[in-house]
Structure 1
Amino acid sequence: MYIYLLDIKFKIDCSFSLKDKREVIRSIIDYARNSLKISSAGLTDNDMRNFAHLGFVTISNDNDKK
């Protein structure tokens, strides 16, 4: 069994409030869950309006690298 993990921090230039930040993060997380079928969550930097820290994880039985 293989576990794949992605931990990413990035800056959101178009974010002028926490509401703008949540909108951007929500669209990324929804895309990951619905289209890519991977689990994701916001990790830290919740009170900073220009920075985000997201984590993504998925589990697979094979290591197919096509």
Structure 2
Amino acid sequence: MTIGGQKLELKADVARHIWDEWPEQQRTGKREAAFILWGLDRLGCRCSPVICKPITARTH
């Protein structure tokens, strides 16, 4: 998850829960893939995107 310049790693089930709870008209993308959750400004326009995308497994 990327919020502004900050990155945060979430478990997939947490990301899906956030998707499910976010208002439908403020979501773009696909729940099981990459998606954007939008805030709304005082005029009702989308702003402040929260970008979520899957992380590939690390092999170390």
Q: Same fold (TM over 0.5)?
A: no
> Relative contact order (C-alpha < 8 Å, sep 6+): which is higher?
1
The TM-score range, normalised by the shorter chain, is 0.3 to 0.5
| Structure having the larger proportion of residues in helix | 1
Larger radius of gyration: 1
Structure 1 length-normalised TM: 0.32
Structure 2 length-normalised TM: 0.34
